[in-house]
Amino acid sequence: MNDRPRAAGAAEVAASVVRPEVHALSAYVVAKAEGLVKLDAMENPYGVPPDVAARLAQALSNVAINRYPDGAAVATKAALARALGVGAADGVLLGNGSDELIQIIASTLARPGAVMLAPEPTFVMYRFSALNAGMRFVAVSLRPDFSLDLSAMLDAIERERPALVFLSYPNNPTGNLFAVEDIEAVIRATPGLVVVDEAYNAFADASFLPRIAEFPNLLVMRTLSKIGMAGIRLGYAVAAPAWIGEFNKLRPPYNVSGLTQAAVVALLSDTAWIGVQAQAICDERNRLETQLPLLPGVSVYPTRANFVVARFANANGVFEGLKVRRILVKNLDAWHPLLKGCLRITVGTPDENDRLLSALNELTLPT
């Protein structure tokens, strides 16, 4: 079967038809984490409590997997509204993770020449979605303390007239909340849609969700990923129904699987466990924020997320040394000039954080 003559190999054919900007990319690499203490991806370190797991198993066993799921996801949206305080008059869009929502929003607004604008460093999926949708991406650097450079943002908005602005609130990978007045000014100045991405809302105690009705061009996005349910892939966006109606036209009709929908209803039928875990994570975050700067040559940035950004005198050495000690964090050193020397450490269980701190004790250098 292998003697069929071939004019060209698959790589050549692909290279002749794949979009050049895609061909030039390297695929997003998810770090291997087998057997490591995993503090690199902002996951919740706690599993689902046994009673909730039992309810989940029961719900999943009842799913009619021979049928397509409910494309409108009515029960799922009701569960979200009940559990997470989504307003009754607001429109809600569900996605296979917020990654898919970002993609749908970008594709919908990608008129020829349209601009997506975001501060940087920020969540890399924004830039990636601009490329995917064919939007021009414009980045405005944060200030060295990771706050928004408001005048640079307003200048860029005036110059570029963006169709879409992304603000991660708190910001990934820096962990801080931007000033409320700065965000308000960006929303007022932007001719297009401003997405406030609240992936870390559970740890932040700050939100623009109650302000949807106040701004006709505001969308707030959240996800279940950072509150213990990254595996089921569910993100949701809240905005005026006029926006949601447009996005629904490009949403694949069955983008949220029947298993995910049933899981959401079961997992959110009682939300006490989510609050308990989020509080434990905030307590441990505060402990890391206090303990890390006591190490020689280490400083930490203020954080309102489930991770801490710390600057080290020898970040690359510390990163490798942690790996040798079976602890995986995220090395931000080469990401952006403002992040030189920085590692991003997801808050783990008390035991995992103890292991991290004792490893860092061995690895940090007296200055």
Nearest residue (CB) to ligand PLP, 44 versus 223: 223
Q: Does 99 bind ligand PLP (CB under 6 A)?
A: yes
SS3 for 258? helix
Determine the size of the site formed for ligand PLP (CB under 6 A). 14
Among 48, 118, 164, 199, binds ligand PLP (CB under 6 A): 199
To which residue do tokens 């040394």 refer? Answer: 321
Among 69, 97, 121, 228, binds ligand PLP (CB under 6 A): 97
Burial of 221 (0-12, 13-18, 19+ CB in 10 A): buried
Sites for ligand PLP among residues 303-362 (CB under 6 A): none
Q: Which residues contact 328 (CB under 8 A, 6 or more apart)?
A: 31, 33, 36, 37, 38, 39, 40, 322
Closest CA to 220 of 312, 80, 67, 92: 92
Contact region with ligand PLP (CB under 6 A), list: 11-19, 83-91, 96-104, 348-356: 96-104
d(CA 243, CA 251): 13
Contact 327, 341 (CB under 8 A): no
Per-position x/- string for 108-127, each x denoting binding to ligand PLP as judged by CB under 6 A, each - no binding: ---------------x----
Contact 107, 87 (CB under 8 A): no
Nearest residue (CB) to ligand PLP, 123 versus 319: 123
Segment holding 351, helix H or strand E = helix 350-363
The residue number with the shortest CB distance to ligand PLP is 97
Q: Does 154 bind ligand PLP (CB under 6 A)?
A: no
As measured in angstroms, the least distance from the Cβ of 197 to ligand PLP is: 5
Nearest residue (CB) to ligand PLP, 226 versus 304: 226
Tell me which residues touch ligand PLP (CB under 6 A): 42, 97-99, 123, 168, 172, 197, 199, 223, 225-226, 230, 235
